Amino acid sequence: MNSDLVIGVDLGGTNVKTGLVSNEGKILYQNKFPSNASGSRWEVIKQIELSARDAMEHAGGAEIRGVGVGSPGMVDDHGVVKGPPNFTDFDGIPLQAELERVFSLPVRVENDANAAAIAESRFGAGKPFPDFLFVIWGTGVGGGIIFHGRIFRGPTGGAGEIGHICIDYNGPPCNCGSRGCVEAYVGQRYLSQRAMAKLANHPDSKLLELVGGNLENIEPVYIAQAARAGDAFARDILIEAGTLLGVALGAVMNTMDLRVSIIGGGISASGEFVMDAIKKSVQEHVLKPSRPDIRVLPAKLGNNAGILGAAGLVL
C-alpha cells in the first residue's frame, strides 16, 4: 500500500535523526542515534547506516525508493561533503557514493539548510511560493534558496550562505575573519551578548528573572520566551535583531529578484512581531516597485524540516 516510502536522514553534530516518510510528507516513524561526530568518518557513516536501517525495518515490507541525507557543510553536485563544522574527520567525504554502496539504493546528499528549504517548499510555509529564500536563524544564520520550485545550489552548491553578508563594512569582527557580517549581529552568541550588555539598564525585565538573575545564562530562547510573555525589553532586542537581519535579506532579494523570505530556526519562533520587524526592514532595502510584494513568514515544519527535506531529495 505504502509503495512510495523514502528514508530521510538529518545528520547533525550531536545526533543523526532518521524518518520513514510517505509520499505526502508524513513521518511514519522516526528515531535518533548519536552521530559520533568526534569519531572517524567510518564511525559516522556506521551511525547513519544504523539509524537508516532501523527506520527501514519499520516499513512493514513496503519498498523503499531511496535515501535522502541533509548534512552540515558544503555538499557538491556529487554528494561530497566538505568542511562540516563540529565533525573531526568528515571533510571531503563522498557520502552519497558511500551510502549508495551500503544501501544499494538511490541516495542523495544535500546541505542541511538546503534540505530544510526543500522541506518548507514541498510541505511547509513555502508551498504557495515557487521562489523564496529560506533562512535558518539560530546559532548562525544560514539559508537555502528555492527558485522555480527547486533548490538553487549555485555553481558549486554553496548558494544561500547568507550569514556572512556584510551589513556594515565598519561593523564588529565576525568569527569568519571579516567584519560586519549579519551573523555577527544576530547569531545566537552575539545576540545574547548584546542582551547581556543592555540588561544592566533594565533591572525590571522578565528576562533577568528567567535566567535566575544570572546574566551569564542568557540565551536567545529565554529572550524569545520573555518577549512572548510581553516583556518590552526582550521584544526590543528581537525587533532590533530582526531589523538587522532584514538588511541582509534585502541584499538577497535585490540580487535574485525574490520577494518572499521564510524564517526558520529557534529565534524565529518568538512571535509575529519579529516577522514584522524583518519585513519592514527588507522593504526599506529593496527597490520601491517590489516593496508591496515583500513577504516574511515563519517556517512551519520546526524540527522536522531536516528529516522531511532529506526525504524530499528522493521523493
Write out the residues near a copy of itself by the rule CB under 8 A: 74, 82-83, 130-131, 145, 147-148, 152-162, 164-170, 176-178, 180, 244, 247-248, 250-252, 254-259, 284-290
- Least separation in angstroms between residue 23's CB and a copy of itself is 27
Nearer to a copy of itself, 50 or 256 (CB): 256
Tell me which residue has cell 536563524. Answer: 137
Contact between 108 and 235 under an 8 Å Cβ cutoff? The reply is no
- Least separation in angstroms between residue 198's CB and a copy of itself is 18
- Least separation in angstroms between residue 122's CB and a copy of itself is 18
- Least separation in angstroms between residue 225's CB and a copy of itself is 27
Distances (CA, A) of 227 to 70, 99, 221, 273: 32, 44, 10, 10
Nearer to a copy of itself, 102 or 256 (CB): 256
- C-alpha 238/C-alpha 52 separation (Å) is 38
Per-residue b/e over 275-288, b at no fewer than 16 CB within 10 Å?
bebbbebbbebbee
| 205: alpha, beta or left? (left if phi > 0; alpha if psi -120 to 50) | beta
Nearer to a copy of itself, 81 or 311 (CB): 81
Nearer to a copy of itself, 209 or 257 (CB): 257
Nearer to a copy of itself, 214 or 255 (CB): 255
- Grid coordinates representing 221? 530562547
- Least separation in angstroms between residue 296's CB and a copy of itself is 17
- C-alpha 206/C-alpha 87 separation (Å) is 37
Nearer to a copy of itself, 83 or 302 (CB): 83
Contact between 13 and 87 under an 8 Å Cβ cutoff? The reply is yes
- C-alpha 88/C-alpha 83 separation (Å) is 9
- Least separation in angstroms between residue 131's CB and a copy of itself is 4
